[in-house]
Amino acid sequence: MGSEARGAAAAAGDLVELEVGPVAHGGHCVARLRGPGDDGPGRVVFVRHALPGERVVARLTDAGPKATFWRADAVEVLDASPDRVASPWPEAGPGGVGGGELAHVRPDAQRAWKAAVLAEQLQRLARVEREVPVRALPGDEERGGLGWRTRVGFLADREGRAGMRRFRSHDVVPVTAMPLMSDALAGLDLLGRRWTPGARIEAVAPAGGDAPVVLVDDQPFDLRRGKVDPRPNARSAVREQVRVGEWEWAYRVAAAGFWQVHREAPATLTGAVLDALGDVDGARVLDLYSGAGLFTLPLADAVGDAGSVVAVEGDARAVRDARRNLHDRPQVELHGGDVAGALAAGAAGAGVDAVVLDPPRVGAGRDVVRAVAGLAPRRVVYVACDPAALARDVAYLAEEGYALSDVTGYDLFPMTHHVEAVAVLER
């Protein structure tokens, strides 16, 4: 087995044989490595590219006698799980780029994996026992979990080839395929071109059919001419459309700004948030971390002329987009700035009927949760992109008198460990 090692003597680069245990947050499974004569529980190893119940040969990527836990990549499967499939993206396999760490897992088993992580984090951090369904988005079953990204980014290596960073590394690895990007993006042939070494390439192809935009180092790029477009009116934004039932909303979003990357994510999440809120006609709703107004615009229509929406966003570019998207909704108050600071300054007024929280990956945190609870909303709808952050904030909300009444996961990021969840908490 080459440089096989066991126990405390093992080092990064060594090969070890592991019995793979349960899934863990972050795209890993948990295994334990015991040395000769070791009767204890063994060293914890977080192993990628494996599945629970498998027996694998793994290459240690982080190891050492002082480390609390080690990391490894499964490089040979001795006993395979029935949930294992051939990866559609081998370049994201062991030793490869990040962004496709579950490509070896059958799509329905990927959702079961994510459901297990959500349930485990809620139990461990919030002391809530709850099974959490994780739903596929429309079209993903038919596509096998591929072709969903409407936004991609690459880095040019020293030879000008488009690539991505190796997992947990700054090394740029050239890639010949990126099967998660949409057909419209694949048609741009970004991977077949040569770029300026070190350039950062970003491309956006909105699901609604708007023409794609390519940026190189944040500057609009003319693919036909092969150079940056110097015109002051060169396109640097795209039009996005979101349809939920009979409703449809239009947005203008900076190509370099934040927008959900899955083609169906904006509509799916908007529908889930509106359903979770229920009837808010005439209500006062607080929309925190409101971005370019994805939820704010539908909320404005939901509360009607007799209601109001207070939106708070800290990113200046997103605030500029939101002002354009919301200019004809007089019932919206838009505040730019830090969410905690805006709440402390009284941006929400004396109270609200409901709150929508869509924080970044780190979560809202105790200060924001306390400020939200101080407004005494009857319901909080929390849109989470990280299971651990969601569970911590659910625990904080419980301290303030709010109980988790519902939570559903959405597989917005097939082939990766990432999962979105929409939770409903009531006072």
CA angle 153, 157, 163 (to 5 degrees): 35
Assess contact for 8 and 65: CB atoms under 8 A.
Answer: yes
Options 255, 302, 385, 421, the catalytic residue: 385
Assess contact for 275 and 302: CB atoms under 8 A.
Answer: no
Torsion of CA 20, 22, 24, 30, to 10 degrees: -30
What is the rounded CA–CA span in Å between residue 105 and residue 87? 8
> Nearest CA to 188 among 197, 174, 172, 201?
201
385 included as an active-site residue: yes
From its phi and psi, is residue 218 left (phi > 0), alpha (psi between -120 and 50) or beta? left
Burial class, 53, CB count within 10 angstroms (exposed 0-12 / middle 13-18 / buried 19+): middle
Neighbours of 345 (CB within 10 A): 11
What is the rounded CA–CA span in Å between residue 74 and residue 76? 6
Assess contact for 133 and 115: CB atoms under 8 A.
Answer: yes
Assess contact for 58 and 15: CB atoms under 8 A.
Answer: yes
What is the rounded CA–CA span in Å between residue 201 and residue 183? 18
From its phi and psi, is residue 54 left (phi > 0), alpha (psi between -120 and 50) or beta? beta
Residues with catalytic roles: 385
